[in-house]
Amino acid sequence: MSGKTVQEAFRAYVCQTSAAPLGLDVIRAEGAWVHTRDGRHYLDLLAGIGVNALGHAHPEVVAAVREQAGRYLHAMVYGEYALEPQARLAERLAEVAPPGLTQVYFTNSGTEANEGALKLARKATGRRRFLAFENSYHGDTCGSLSVTGRAVYRQPFEPLLPGVTFLPFDDAGALDAVDDTVAAVIVEPIQGEAGVRVPGGEFLPALRRRCDETGALLIFDEVQTGLGRTGRLWAGEHWGVTPDLMTLAKALGGGMPLGAFLGRPELMATLSCDPPLSHVTTFGGHPVCCAAGLAGLNVLLRERLSERAAQTGARFREGLRRIGGVEVRGLGMMIGWELESAALTARFAQEALAREVIVGWTLHSDRVLRLLPPLNLTDAETDLALDRLAAALAAAL
């Protein structure tokens, strides 16, 4: 070892993806709190970008990880062995998923889940085109990036998948573009990286009808919105819409890396023939990650955290409106807080961090703060967060 500090090693050897990473030197995290080597204690309102829906290191999740790690780790590539944690998590998801989505393919991440869903859509329909939406975000691998609706992220890596058309989000009048050449339409029920954009009441039902009319599959990317984040277990429930395929990640693993796509059995069977092993993964559905995911899902359901997210999120949004800014958007504990300018937003984020509160931007808007707190944030923590955010905005102004 070189004798470098953790910060020095981080800067020297870990590939940097921004010019100014936060660089918090984390030594411990519990619940809504992140503790750093310099003795500071941060209230985490980003929760690992929605991953830690139960907060950091939930005791039941940690216990499940320890127990499974003592039994076995990796045993065989996905789908070859009947692994209890994997089978039980798939069973539990099938019980609570939107109607009919009873088979699960596990991946390592959200972008891999979207890759698998896109492949399945092409194979199942025999069609090649995809429709997606402007300002959408579906991941950074080449297929997922192809259906991500911001040219600034796509252009450096082109050519990507051909045959992708982008439509305006929340515009039912544009849906005539869905025709019988389209394999699938992929959509976030609420656009996250675009600044937490919630569609009106007609858009998603109209999209469902148009896909039914043309035979295109409807893919809901619930990587960020799923598992209680919006005040319902699945965001699509707000509009009464069931997709053909649904992708998950982030909160799915209880803090461990885990993604999945779910669909009807007749669709999912497409991956087992012509040829067999049409989609494979070595580590997807890792037993330790699935044990963590099952423990976390059981906590979320038992403690009715979807309902708590709806209640606490409404209180949080109302508190932010009293503090100020241009607009507060969102559902449940998925909140976008738009300020007057990019410069003010940058100053605010610095002032919040100085007051030991972690917030984040969205990729597609430098004026929108993203808040994705743990779903079990306490009332006292909510009040403390609002007090600190109010002080940070006053200082930034």
Q: What is the mean pLDDT of residues 128-137?
A: 97
Tokens standing for residue 355: 């007051």
**Ramachandran assignment for 354, one of left (phi > 0), alpha (psi -120 to 50 degrees), beta (any other):** alpha
Please report which residue ranges of 72-197 form alpha helices under DSSP H: 84-96, 110-125, 142-146, 151-154
Which of 98, 92, 80 lies closest to 291, judged by CA? 92
Q: What is the reported pLDDT for 298?
A: 98
389 phi, psi to nearest 5 deg: -65, -40
Give the domain ranges of the chain.
6-57+304-396, 59-302
Active-site option among 44, 78, 244, 250: 250
Q: What percent of the chain has pLDDT over 70?
A: 100
- Of residues 195 and 18, more confidence is placed in 195
CATH architecture of 6-57+304-396: Alpha-Beta Complex (3.90)
Whether residue 221 lies in the annotated active site: yes
The string of pLDDT tens digits covering residues 276-297 is 888 999 999 999 999 999 999 9
Q: Provide the CATH topology of domain 59-302.
A: Aspartate Aminotransferase; domain 2 (3.40.640)
Both tokens of residue 145?
């990036």
Residue 2 above 80 pLDDT? no
Written as one letter, the residue type at 123 is K
Name the catalytic one among 42, 105, 221, 244.
Answer: 221
> H/E/C letters for each residue in 134-147?
CCCCCCCCHHHHHC
pLDDT grade for 56, boundaries at 50, 70 and 90: very high
Average pLDDT over residues 206-219: 98
**Cβ atoms of residues 92 and 297 within 8 Å:** yes
105: annotated active-site residue: no
**pLDDT category of residue 213 using cuts at 50, 70 and 90:** very high
User: Which is it for strands 182-187 and 245-248: parallel, antiparallel or unpaired?
Assistant: unpaired
Q: Residue 5, class by beta-carbon neighbours within 10 Å (0-12 exposed, 13-18 middle, 19+ buried)? A: exposed
Q: Is the pTM above the cut of 0.85?
A: yes
For residue 109, report the phi and psi dihedrals to the nearest 5 degrees: -160, 175
Share of the chain above pLDDT 90, in %: 93
Q: What is the pLDDT of residue 392?
A: 97
CA 397: distance to chain centroid?
31
Residues in the chain: 397
Q: What is the mean pLDDT of the chain?
A: 96
Phi, psi of 336 (to 5 degrees): -115, 130
Q: Which is more confidently placed, 306 or 77?
A: 306
- Is 250 in the active site? yes
Q: Which of 42, 105, 137, 244 is catalytic?
A: 137
> With contact defined as beta carbons under 8 Å apart, do 56 and 31 qualify?
yes
Tokens of 273: 């023939």
